[in-house]
Structure 1
Amino acid sequence: MTPCPDDAEQSPPPDTFGKRGRKPAPISETAGVSHRAWLEPVRSILFASGLTLNDLVDRSGYSKTRISELLRGNGYYPAWEITFSVIRALGLPVQPMRRLWTAAAREARKEPDWISHCIRQVALQPESPPLAHRAFTEDVADAYTAYARAFLLTDHRARWVVAETFDILWLCWSDAAAGENLRRYAWHLLRSRVMARAHSNEDGTPDLRATVFSTAEVHESVPGHLVVLSELVDLFDAIGRLPDDQLDVAVLRYLCDWPSKEISDVVGLSPAITHAVDHHARATLEHLLRALKPRE
């Protein structure tokens, strides 16, 4: 199952959006990471609903041009009032969306007074996530945070991305909970949010070398500590170049020291598949580390 926020790369021209089932143009390249965090799931939910741009215009009260710009992330960052009108037309929860909108407004360098003024224009009723959502997020929060920290280096950044993930999951909860594998769905969602912010190598793989200095207990008093650090840097560099599933299992098991018997539940794979992935990851690491050694 494809996670909710994944958006199609190829879309028809914007003037075909009025035809039922057709998608608008792709999201603008100027839209930031936090902006895409809410725009992608909103677009995906809209596409799945079968509503047209005209339907949204009728339900929201805003013009076709303004709704189209909002859905493409074009122009100025949208005010909360029009964003609220669109998500209410789609029947989406407001509280997680408002948090996501606020984070993206800060990313767009909107002034705090502008953000506060926008929010005050719309009354917000108390709202709680589904009990199943709450139970699920409490169950995986620690593992998700440990994984995010391995790439993002600080507790603050890791917790922020996990909270963002859980808000997007709330927006998409109906689709996620109805699918075949909720844990896999949620893991792919977390992974996409982490990788959107992780430092990358030139080939696009995540660069884990800096993680050595935030996780390794190696001090100058330890004999040969420079050699040990060099070996760890090579190891972490190799881990970052593993295929996706192997990377995830290796990070959780060897960088986060997560109990191996719990990793399958975290990533949404069966124990047998997780064991096989771990086996292949170790073999791949040995090959990559041999390739990194200088020839004598």
Structure 2
Amino acid sequence: MNPPHIPEQPAGESPYRRGRRPEPICETATAAHRTWLEPVRNRFVASGLTLDDLVGRSGYSKTRLSELLRGKNYYPGWEITYSVVRALDIPVGPLLRLWKAAAVEAEKTPAWISTRIRAVQPSGRDEPPLAHVGLTQTMWHPYSAYAQAFLQSAPRARQAVGETFDILWLNWDEATTSPSPDTPRFAWMPLRSKVLSRTPRRPAGHYDLRAAAFSTTVQAQAPDLVERLARIDVFARFFDAIARLPADQMDVTVLRYLCGIAPTAIPGIVGLPPALTHTLDHHARWALKELFPDAETQE
């Protein structure tokens, strides 16, 4: 049997073979662009299709598809993106929302975005897996509380949480082929990434949580302005100390002491075993006492 014919590629470009990942995403692609492009690339590789197959299914040239898969030269319109999405049987709804967010980051105008979307008439409606719906309903509140603790804005928190669940939907097969206890962890990691990527940093490099001091109940109950300002200063320094903790300790501490989440619920939220979560909490409290001796946390 003769080997399958692989069409010649332009000079300097590697051929796409079945199961072979495309060339790396260009460094100029923004973080929001990569958010939807990486699942598309993963689905393309998993499909076993060649670039020629994708040409036949999408109707676009090999050069344009290659540029799209690498995030090269331009931010792609929705028409070509949608053609690839349908060819690879990717859910349209979450991909479209992530595409729009990345288009805004790429400084595309609202008119450009709406015109590109109107040019396509989607067929049917995607429904998320029931387990995804259940996880969304369960985690929406704690995820939002965590996001708002850092971002101090309900709309920005909703956007970060919504994007997290869209990412999870696009990667649902991967999330659910791991052992069951890992699914919450699989979901938590993009949530943390989305939130922290939008959080300003202090000159020392750690995240800036000081603004959370203005929204605490304790300082709001101060009888006069002088005492309120004093309490804000104390809380601002305390929250700044929290932001210096290692990532998992910081997550557990923020959920418990800033968001008011019950300690028994935190393991299921961050996707870590209860014993490890308890240990992280214990280490965090001791670290806070070293960083900020006036910190008061309850056992």
The TM-score bracket by the shorter chain reads 0.7 to 0.9
CA displacement at 1:222 relative to structure 2: 6.1
Q: Which residues in structure 2 correspond to 1:213-224 (within 5 Å)?
A: 213-215=214-216, 217-218=218-219, 219=222, 221=224, 224=227
* Partner residue in 2 for 1:8: none
Other structure's SS at 2:76 match = coil
Cα distance change on mapping 1:72 and 1:225 into 2, 3 Å? same
Q: Structure 2: which amino acid aligns with 1:209?
A: R
Matched, 1:104 2:102: yes
Gaps of 5+ in 2: 1-11
Q: Which residue of 2 aligns with 1:172?
A: 171
Distance in structure 2 (CA, Å) of the matches to 1:220 and 1:29: 53
Q: Does 1:35 align with 2:38?
A: no
Deviations 1:2-22 (A, max 9, x none): xxxxxxxxxxxx823524444
**Structure number with bigger Rg:** 2
* DSSP-derived class of the 2:255 partner: helix
Give the aligned partner of residue 6 of structure 1.
none
* Partner SS for 1:159: helix
* Structure 2 counterpart of 1:10: none
Matches within 5 A, 1:148-163: 148-163=147-162
**Residue equivalent to 1:18:** 16
Contact residue 17 and residue 52 of structure 1 kept, 8 A: no
Please tell me whether the aligned partners of residues 151 and 208 of structure 1 are also in contact (alpha carbons under 8 angstroms): yes
Contact 1:21 1:47 in 2 (8 A): yes
> Does the 8 A contact of 2:18 with 2:45 survive in 1?
no
Q: Report sequence identity in percent.
A: 53
Shift of 1:25: 4.0
Question: 1:210 corresponds to which residue?
Answer: 211
Is the 2:213–2:235 Cα contact (8 Å) retained in structure 1?
A: yes
Instruction: Select between 232-241 and 38-47 the one with higher mean Cα deviation.
Output: 38-47
- Structure 2 CA distance for partners of 1:227 and 1:111, relative to 1, 3 Å: closer
Deviation, structure 1 residue 220: 6.9
Contact 1:16-1:22 at 8 Å conserved across structures: no
Q: Secondary structure at the match of 1:16?
A: coil
Paired residues of 2:142 and 2:269 also in contact (CA < 8 A): yes
* Residue pairs, 1:170-209, within 5 angstroms: 170-180=169-179, 181-209=182-210
> CA shift at 1:36, angstroms?
2.4
Match of 1:66 in 2: 64
TM norm structure 1 = 0.85
Tell whether the 8 Å contact from 2:148 to 2:157 is kept in structure 1 after alignment. yes
What letter matches 2:148 in structure 1? R
CA distance in 2, matches of 1:222, 1:111: 44
In 2: Cα distance, 1:58 partner to 1:115 partner: 26
Which residue number in structure 2 is paired with residue 270 of structure 1? 273
**How far is the alpha carbon of 1:72 from its aligned partner?**
2.2
Looking at structure 2, the residues matched to 143 and 289 of structure 1 have their Cα atoms a distance apart, in angstroms, of: 26
| Amino acid in structure 1 at the alignment position of 2:26 | S
Aligned partner letter, 1:176? A
